[in-house]
């Protein structure tokens, strides 16, 4: 009897599978997340409030394949509004699910909202985090791993790595995230991080104490392991290394790289990469180390990698981090895209021969810093972004932008004359499918890391320059920035126009510039932001609106029925649907 039922069930299942194959729909993965506060003592014995997902810190890893349909039902059990953004996920045609305050109404406390998105043609290592206020400083982040679809060759799977580990590293503050927001609101700073966490564990900066802990990772001699490393912190660039072991770089921000070998790698805030590590050392314990770069009072954290059966303690000679800028810049210059690797291409509609495409527009985004009523603000080109009560994307879709924002208040170049920062919702437009060069200039004395939602771009150049900024200048504009080495069209000769890695985040060294190029072929409203979270919070961000003139479902999805409404769009009738894709 039971057997018959099972056979029948199997038959039904087979039919369902066949039906699914016939529709050729990509598989669905469902997640249910309960987001709560919890108390953890992570560093220096200080208990603090952290954001947990299903009780976990960091949050659960999302494992999926290219093109899977990801459905995440988020139950907000915090006492504050919440949004999740998916760092590096391009959400083609679908900025509705990008989870930024400019694209979506916040999920109110004690309500739920279901994100639905697809890592369309993407592979690699990414992470998610809460995007509102300073919540990112309280955790709520986790890894996203997108593997190639079956039968699509991967340049390093012969044989495949023994296992695949996530290493989320980041600086950490012991201050409550709401306290940090209040400090910034009051015009004060958040100070320096208390330490570094590795997968939610810091414990101690003392390597000897780390050695007393159970190992975080285990190796079997002779095997190869993949480590997916992301800097999920809010301010500090980190250096990642494993005592005695080489790191073979295979993937970065969703692109397969040329597989060069490094002793250690700098990972800037918001960046992710994958390395392969051969367990080729005498069996024993080894330190895996993440330590801050370019800030005073360096901090580090260690974890133990243990060879199976080992009882040999790690050598106390923890490898030192590299020193200086030049090392970091040179390492960055060595990263190259593997042009022959067959994989999902990050920019399927763009050309791989990006060096041969004519630039139709150059946007120079210079970081602005100034004071409004004595309080520090950041911005680009004299405009400091603030969120509106109606998410920008919704105001645009319902055609009610009046009183919410005005397009193109920020110019493509920094203003020639110094003036006070303007604090407004900052939205600029770009013509659909145009190829644009963006230069980020960071005249500050601290590191910056810039991220673009919705896209992958070619990181063609980065340069440490020597231009001087007087400490008395509160707002820096072109005129005050004369000096050797500032960006000029001449600098294009130094670009990598052949095999720059296609990625979503680029670092900008202090008093330096970085250049990217991309085709704006993903219609929607996309956030460009500093990953340095106090800068983000204080306005160093801008939204880019890209509208397809065809107003077609070929180019952009309609607002989903489940989209939350708030501000001016509550109760408005739906605008006409985009035309069917042909
Ligand atoms: C909230 O969760 C319920 C139960 O899982 C689900 O049926 C509903 O669709 C969710 N609501 C939204 C807006 O996602
Ligand atoms: C690039 O990818 C190809 C195809 O998977 C692989 O055979 C080759 O070894 C890779 N090249 C480098 C330099 O990593
Ligand atoms: C994701 O995949 C990795 C590597 O295969 C595995 O170790 C991990 O347990 C998986 N995580 C989840 C939540 O499925
Ligand atoms: C780029 O511009 C040059 C000069 O205007 C023109 O000759 C060339 O055909 C253009 N190339 C492409 C690929 O459009
Ligand atoms: C948006 O509204 C304005 C009036 O406020 C109108 O002139 C314009 O045609 C509308 N645009 C669209 C696309 O409906």
At residue 507, does pLDDT exceed 80?
yes
Please tell me the predicted confidence (pLDDT) of residue 429: 98
Report the range of poorest mean pLDDT among 104-118, 475-489, 495-509: 475-489
Largest CA distance in the chain: 86
Question: Pick from 313, 337, 493, 477: which is nearest to 410 by CA?
Answer: 477
Query: Which carries the bigger pLDDT value, residue 401 or residue 418?
Result: 401
Q: How far does residue 467's CA lie from ligand 4's centre (Å)?
A: 34
Atom 11 of ligand 2: nearest residue by CA position: 258
When pLDDT is averaged across residues 123-152 and rounded to a whole number, the result is 95
Please tell me the predicted confidence (pLDDT) of residue 323: 86
When pLDDT is averaged across residues 535-555 and rounded to a whole number, the result is 97
When pLDDT is averaged across residues 559-575 and rounded to a whole number, the result is 97
> Residues 192-235: pLDDT tens digits?
999 999 999 986 556 677 777 889 999 999 999 999 999 999 99
Atom 9 of ligand 2: nearest residue by CA position: 155
Please tell me the predicted confidence (pLDDT) of residue 318: 86
When pLDDT is averaged across residues 19-27 and rounded to a whole number, the result is 66
Q: How far does residue 452's CA lie from ligand 5's centre (Å)?
A: 29
When pLDDT is averaged across residues 346-363 and rounded to a whole number, the result is 75
Q: Which fold has domain 163-323?
A: Immunoglobulin-like (2.60.40)
Q: How far does residue 74's CA lie from ligand 4's centre (Å)?
A: 48
Report the range of poorest mean pLDDT among 31-40, 55-64, 365-374, 528-537: 365-374
Query: What residue spans of 262-318 are helical by DSSP H?
Result: none
Please tell me the predicted confidence (pLDDT) of residue 471: 34
Prediction pTM value: 0.92
CATH number of 355-559: 2.60.40.420
> Residues 424-441: pLDDT tens digits?
999 999 999 999 999 999
| Averaged confidence pLDDT in the chain | 89
CB within 6 Å of ligand 2 — which residues? 153, 155, 258-259, 338, 340-341
- Residue 112 CA: which ligand 1 atom is closest? 1
Please tell me the predicted confidence (pLDDT) of residue 150: 82
CB within 6 Å of ligand 1 — which residues? 73, 112-114, 562
- Residue 61 CA: which ligand 3 atom is closest? 13
For residues 161 and 164, what is the distance between their CA atoms, to the nearest angstrom?
7
* Ligand nearest, relative to CA of residue 551: 5
Atom 4 of ligand 3: nearest residue by CA position: 164
Atom 2 of ligand 1: nearest residue by CA position: 112
At residue 277, does pLDDT exceed 50?
yes
When pLDDT is averaged across residues 223-249 and rounded to a whole number, the result is 98
- Residue 258 CA: which ligand 2 atom is closest? 14
At residue 35, does pLDDT exceed 90?
yes
Query: Which carries the bigger pLDDT value, residue 161 or residue 325?
Result: 161
Break the chain into its structural domains and give their ranges. 23-147, 163-323, 355-559
CA distances (Å), origin 442, targets 53, 67, 69, 168, 423: 35, 36, 38, 26, 19
Contacts of 52 (CB under 8 A, 6+ apart): 35, 36, 37, 38, 59, 139, 140
Contacts of 566 (CB under 8 A, 6+ apart): 105, 106, 389, 390, 391, 394
At residue 85, does pLDDT exceed 90?
yes
When pLDDT is averaged across residues 542-571 and rounded to a whole number, the result is 97
Q: Which of 112, 117, 564 to mutate to test the pocket of ligand 1 (most atoms within 8 A of CB)?
A: 112
| pLDDT-above-70 percentage for the chain | 89
When pLDDT is averaged across residues 550-567 and rounded to a whole number, the result is 97
* Ligand nearest, relative to CA of residue 353: 4
Q: How many residues does the chain have?
A: 582
- Give residue 474's pLDDT band: very low, low, confident or very high (50, 70, 90): very low
* Ligand nearest, relative to CA of residue 76: 1
CB within 6 Å of ligand 3 — which residues? 60-61, 63, 164
At residue 3, does pLDDT exceed 50?
no
Please tell me the predicted confidence (pLDDT) of residue 468: 39
- Give residue 564's pLDDT band: very low, low, confident or very high (50, 70, 90): very high
* Ligand nearest, relative to CA of residue 158: 2
Which tokens is 24 given?
């050729």
When pLDDT is averaged across residues 247-274 and rounded to a whole number, the result is 97
For residues 509 and 331, what is the distance between their CA atoms, to the nearest angstrom?
13
Which tokens is 493 given?
């000769």
- Give residue 130's pLDDT band: very low, low, confident or very high (50, 70, 90): very high
| pLDDT-above-90 percentage for the chain | 76
Q: Which of 32, 53, 61 to mutate to test the pocket of ligand 3 (most atoms within 8 A of CB)?
A: 61
Q: What are phi and psi of 58, to 5 degrees?
A: -55, 170
Please tell me the predicted confidence (pLDDT) of residue 465: 57
Atom 13 of ligand 1: nearest residue by CA position: 113
- What one-character DSSP code corresponds to residue 330? H
When pLDDT is averaged across residues 18-46 and rounded to a whole number, the result is 85
Q: How far does residue 393's CA lie from ligand 5's centre (Å)?
A: 15
At residue 478, does pLDDT exceed 50?
no
CATH number (2.60.40.420, 3.40.30.10, 3.60.70.12, 3.30.830.10) of 23-147 reads 2.60.40.420
Report the range of poorest mean pLDDT among 136-145, 397-406, 489-498: 489-498
When pLDDT is averaged across residues 265-274 and rounded to a whole number, the result is 98
């Amino acid at each position: 009897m039971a057997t018959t039922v099972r056979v029948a069930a199997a038959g039904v299942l087979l039919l369902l599978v066949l039906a699914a194959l016939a529709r050729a729909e990509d598989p669905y993965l469902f997640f249910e997340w309960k987001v709560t506060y919890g108390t953890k003592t992570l560093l220096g014995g200080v208990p603090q409030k952290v954001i947990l997902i299903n009780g976990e810190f960091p949050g659960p890893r999302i494992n999926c394949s290219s093109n899977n349909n990801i459905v995440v039902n988020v139950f907000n059990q915090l006492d504050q509004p919440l949004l999740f953004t998916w760092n590096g996920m391009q959400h083609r045609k679908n900025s509705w699910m990008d989870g930024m305050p400019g694209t979506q109404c916040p999920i109110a406390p004690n309500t739920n909202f279901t994100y639905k998105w697809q890592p369309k043609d993407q592979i690699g290592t990414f992470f998610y985090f809460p995007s509102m206020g300073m919540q990112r400083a309280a955790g709520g982040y986790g890894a996203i791993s997108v593997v190639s679809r079956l039968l699509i060759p991967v340049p390093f799977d012969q044989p495949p790595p023994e296992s695949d580990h996530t290493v989320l590293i980041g600086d950490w503050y012991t201050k409550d995230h709401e306290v940090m927001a209040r400090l910034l609101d009051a015009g004060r700073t958040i100070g320096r991080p208390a330490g570094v966490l590795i997968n939610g564990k810091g414990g101690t900066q003392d390597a000897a104490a780390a050695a007393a802990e159970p190992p975080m990772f285990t190796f079997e001699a002779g095997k190869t392991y993949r480590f997916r490393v992301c800097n999920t912190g809010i301010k500090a660039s980190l250096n990642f290394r494993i005592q005695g072991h080489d790191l073979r770089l295979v993937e970065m921000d969703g692109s397969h790289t040329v597989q060069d070998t490094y002793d250690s790698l700098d990972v800037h805030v918001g960046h992710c990469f994958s390395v392969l590590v051969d367990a080729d050392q005498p069996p024993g314990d080894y330190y895996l180390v993440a330590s801050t770069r370019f800030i005073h009072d360096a901090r580090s954290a260690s974890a133990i990698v243990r060879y199976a059966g080992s009882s040999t303690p790690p050598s106390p000679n923890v490898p030192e981090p590299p020193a200086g800028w030049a090392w970091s810049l040179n390492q960055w210059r060595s990263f190259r895209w593997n042009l022959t690797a067959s994989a999902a291409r990050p920019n399927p509609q763009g050309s791989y021969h990006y060096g041969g495409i004519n630039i139709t527009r150059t946007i120079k985004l210079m970081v602005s810093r100034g004071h409004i009523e004595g309080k520090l603000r950041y911005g680009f080109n004299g405009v400091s972004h603030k969120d509106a009560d109606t998410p920008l994307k919704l105001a645009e879709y319902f055609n009610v932008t009046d009183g919410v924002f005005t397009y193109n208040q920020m110019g493509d170049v920094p203003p020639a004359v110094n003036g006070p920062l303007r604090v407004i919702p900052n939205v600029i437009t770009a013509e659909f499918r145009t190829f644009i060069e963006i230069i980020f200039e960071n005249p500050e004395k601290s590191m910056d890391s810039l991220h673009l939602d919705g896209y992958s771009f070619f990181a063609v150049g980065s340069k440490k320059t020597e231009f001087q900024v007087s400490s008395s200048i509160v707002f820096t504009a072109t005129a005050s920035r004369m000096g050797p080495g500032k960006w000029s069209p001449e600098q294009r000769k130094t670009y990598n126009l052949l095999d720059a890695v296609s990625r979503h985040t680029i670092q900008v060294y202090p008093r330096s510039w970085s250049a990217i190029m991309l085709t704006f072929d993903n219609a929607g409203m996309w956030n460009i932001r500093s990953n340095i979270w106090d800068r983000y919070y204080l306005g160093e961000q801008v939204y880019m609106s890209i509208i397809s003139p065809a107003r077609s479902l070929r180019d952009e999805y309609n607002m989903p029925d489940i989209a939350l409404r708030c501000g001016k769009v509550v109760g408005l009738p739906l605008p006409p649907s985009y035309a069917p894709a042909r």
